[in-house]
Structure 1
Amino acid sequence: MAVETKYAEWRRENPVIDMHTHISLERLDDAVQFMDDNGLEAMVDITGHTGDPFHGLMEAREEYDGRFEAFGGFDFEDFGTDGWIEREIDRMERYVEAGAVGFKIHKALGLEHTDESGEVIRVDDDRLAPLFDRAAELNTVIAFHIADPKAFFEPLTPDNERWAELEENPEWWWGDREEYPYDWWQLIRQLERVIERHPETTFLGVHWGCAAEEVGYVADVMRDNPNYLLDVSARLSEIGRHEAEFVREIFLEFEDRIMFGTDLGVWDPIMLGAPQGFEPTREDVEEFYDAHWQYFETDEEEIAHPTPIQGDWTVDAINLPREVLSKFYTGNARRHLGI
């Protein structure tokens, strides 16, 4: 049974775009079913595929009459060698022509990707600058997932507030500075420098600018950089820990630059914002979306957030006005991603 908020009927008549999902080509029909169940017009795969997976999604875009869109990605193999930047700029140009709505850079940048000398590549490495300059010329968005929740950089013990999630996904722990040289704030500040250095390029900070624990800091970066966009995917558990009116005011201030996304993974098993250790059903997906509608459309306090494995706490809803929801749910994705 869907949650009937005050905007439920309006939302059914004005379908939503989930601009942050991950979709298996083998489960496209399931993705369509989830969209129809939950009042979605389209899903955007933001995995950042290259090669056959990317082109398969572009074919699906045509076959399913626009229900799917996709970000392209970059291949960091051979980074720093002659020809790498030319190869990836050529990829960007071809993927834009094929219909990519933007390009995703994964959190492996700054953590795992290495250059020709074996050094971990900084997020703000100047050798990436030509990609961002070309993106501006092509009027395409560069999306960054940098770092991860703060807790993933803290000691890996049962006292860690995200212990349940890290126990399920131990490869997400980045707390060993011998192996991963940059701490959380270093990575976040590196991203900020990229945004500042390329004011003509539109950047998207996924997961609330990759820093949902620091809602005010992210708002300050947006104030300083009008080329910076956000999505909210898989971070209501963190955003919702902040005082509801404070968060609401940020949404109102940046109503043209924040987009709706969930981090739903339509693969095997389904992912409800994070791998959760069980196999979700169609009904679980509906509850997942209902938790989002409840957070954004009501003023209820101490409600469950969409992804319980991300933290055993409640959140307070922010009760956005309908004109803001219209931009957040659909209009901003149309404007910035060309959907």
Structure 2
Amino acid sequence: MTVETDHAEWRRNLDVIDMHTHVDAKRVDEAVEIMDRIGLEKVVDITPSTGERFDRKMEAYEKYPDRFDMFGGIDFDGFGEDGWLDRELDRLERTAGRGAVGIKIYKALGLQYEDPSGNQVPVDDERIAPLLEKAADLDLVVAFHIADPKAFFEPLEPENERWEELSENPDWWWGDRKEHSYDWWQLIRQLENVIERHSETTILGVHWGCAAEEVGYVADVMRDNPNYIVDISARVPEIGRHRPDLVHDVFVEFQDRIMFGTDLGVRDPLMLGSPQDFDPDLDDTEEFYDAHWRYFETDEEGIDHPTPIQGDWTVDAIDLPREVLRKFYVENARRHLGV
């Protein structure tokens, strides 16, 4: 590693887990090469895979049985029709039986999926409730990626602070209410309803609870709901805009419920938190992780965040204590995901 911090040598002796990645089944050898270069003991593929894709990944990861774990998904094709729920309950059984650590529900819920009447399905639709209850019975974490950054709901114009990223990924813009029924806060509140209703289910809000612009709000939801955990994947650029003492204190308060993840995508091309307008190599990947270490392990001000395409600003580091870092990098993923 290139970045030296007070914790760097200590961290190199930890079994660091990146619990939010996406690994192509054909690229597991490349993923292991990256992991060994960066100093990662294990990665968790959190792609909501179903069917043949799920099976291919499971089989590919068997080559390195101690280096990979993965999530499954729910197939919303036919949602609300006769037989859909039974089919997906059976899928959960098979997903758990194959050794998945959880299921992930993608942001198309609330933004794109429709019921038989042609209405967009809200995140807190009660027709999904039996799946969340079944997941709790099967000891599966349910991860939600809903909404997206606030800027993705704002006018699509050069003045938008995420214009570069949206230009690279135009299908990530959700600002047309005629096409997408719910605005950002509506989706966030719908997720909060789910968390409150399903207190027996461990619910993971990826990307800092999908609301990195509202660090205090996410902390309030965590205070009210012990079943709620979050990761920081692809959101250091956003949480880093908040006062470092505030973010530091939230990490300390919830040191048992925040997990390290990056949204690394081992595919063609590599994805470092978000699709970029260039083809990253191993050196770029190391710099990507170095930016994470610097943010969490130092008190530097005005530093570059990991993913420049996500915003042209700097962040102030939060200098977490070692006991918090140990939980963040390793122990919380083991506790909550069983990896």
Task: Give the aligned partner of residue 132 of structure 1.
Answer: 132
Alpha-carbon distance between aligned partners in 1 of 2:55 and 2:337, rounded to the nearest angstrom = 18
Query: Do the aligned residues in 1 keep the contact of 2:25 with 2:61 (CA within 8 Å)?
Result: no
Q: What residue in structure 1 maps to residue 28 of structure 2?
A: 28
1:120 maps to a residue whose letter is: Q
Q: Which residue of 1 aligns with 2:38?
A: 38
Spell out, residue by residue over 1:237-290, the C-alpha distance to the aligned partner (whole angstroms, 9 max, x if none): 000000001000000000000000000110000011001110001100000000
What is residue 49 of structure 1 aligned with on the other side? 49
Query: Which residue matches 1:259?
Result: 259
Aligned AA for 1:221? Answer: V
CA apart distance, 1:27: 1.1
Superposition deviation, residue 60 in structure 1: 2.9
Moved more, 146-155 or 24-33: 24-33
Task: Name the CA distance, whole Å, in 1 between partners of 2:60 and 2:69.
Answer: 9
Secondary structure, aligned partner of 1:278? coil
| Equivalent residues, number | 339
By how many angstroms is 1:116 displaced? 1.1
Which TM-score applies when normalising by structure 1? Answer: 0.99
The CA deviation at 1:144 is 0.1
Q: Does 1:10 align with 2:4?
A: no
Deviation at residue 201 of structure 1 after TM alignment: 0.5
**2:247 aligned residue:** 247
Deviation at 1:2, TM superposition (A): 1.5
Q: Distance in 1 between matches of 2:52 and 2:333?
A: 25
Q: CA deviation at 1:57?
A: 2.1
Q: 1:55, 1:66 → 2: CA distance? A: 18
CA distance in 2, matches of 1:58, 1:318: 37
Equivalents in 2 of 1:141, 1:236: separation in Å? Answer: 23
1:91 aligns to what? 91
* Pairing of 1:1-339 with structure 2 (within 5 A): 2-339=2-339
Name the SS of the counterpart of 1:26 in structure 2.
Answer: helix
Distance in 1, matches of 2:53 and 2:72, equals 10
2:41 and 2:303 map into 1 onto residues whose CA distance is 26
| Residues 290-328 of structure 1, C-alpha deviations (whole Å, 9 max, x = no match) | 000000001100000000000000000001111111110
Which one is further off, 4-13 or 307-316? Answer: 4-13
> Residue 212 of structure 1: SS of its match in structure 2?
coil
2:171 and 2:123 map into 1 onto residues whose CA distance is 20
Give the whole-Å Cα distance in 1 for the aligned partners of 2:15 and 2:320: 17
**How far does residue 66 in structure 1 lie from its aligned partner after superposition?**
1.7
**Residue identity in the other structure for 1:284:** D
8 Å Cα contact 1:264/1:271 also seen in 2: yes
Between the two proteins, what is the percent identity of the paired residues? 69
8 Å contact kept, 1:304–1:314: yes
Supply the distance in 2 between the matched residues of 1:251 and 1:85 (Cα, whole angstroms). Answer: 38
List per-residue Cα deviations over 1:210-243 (Å, max 9, x = no partner): 0000000000000000000000000000000000
Superposition TM-score, scaled by structure 2 size: 0.99
Question: Which whole-Å CA distance do the structure 2 matches of 1:80 and 1:244 have between them?
Answer: 45
Compare 1-10 and 309-318 and name the one that shifted more.
Answer: 1-10
**In 1: Cα distance, 2:56 partner to 2:333 partner:** 22
Q: Which amino acid aligns with 2:164?
A: A
Higher mean displacement: 115-124 or 147-156: 115-124
Distance in 2, Cα, partners of 1:249 & 1:312: 25
Letter in 2 for 1:259: M
